[in-house]
Amino acid sequence: MSFWNKTKKAKVTREVNYWIRALMLESWDIRLEFEVNDSADYAANVSIDNSYTRALITVNAHALKPPNILNEVICHELLHVVLSGLSNSSAQLLSGTLVTHRELIEVEEKTVEHLTRILNRGI
């Protein structure tokens, strides 16, 4: 029998949906993938495509085992999505492909505005 039965997948999906709303990421196409990888050192991982506002969260079986706390694991991965613009801009700055400092400031401002809406909304 597979570790990821319908009940466990539904539990993770509910948690993801909660945090998508809480972090105001409804405009993103966020998908889930479930795996059992005992040699992995992570509970979950996210791959982000900012160009198409898509993200894939791979949830390992570790996410449901102590000391991991599922809501923290999911919140953590979705915060990577919230901050992904800054991460991409920082990588571009380091590689020399970011044309101006102004571009970095624009991304930072967009991220701060998003966080401001989250914190002032009161979930």
Residue range 94-120, pLDDT digits in tens = 888 876 888 888 989 999 999 999 999
Share of the chain above pLDDT 70, in %: 96
pLDDT at 99: 66
Fold of 6-121: Zincin-like (3.30.2010)
pLDDT at 53: 96
Instruction: Name 45's Cβ contacts closer than 8 Å, sequence gap at least 6.
Output: 57, 58, 60, 77
Q: Domain residue spans in the chain? A: 6-121
Pair 81, 30: CB distance under 8 Å:
yes
Please, how many CA atoms are within 13 Å of residue 22, restricted to the half-sphere of its CB?
Answer: 13
Q: Does pTM top 0.95 for this prediction?
A: no
User: Is residue 123 pLDDT above 60, yes or no?
Assistant: no
User: Is residue 1 pLDDT above 70, yes or no?
Assistant: no
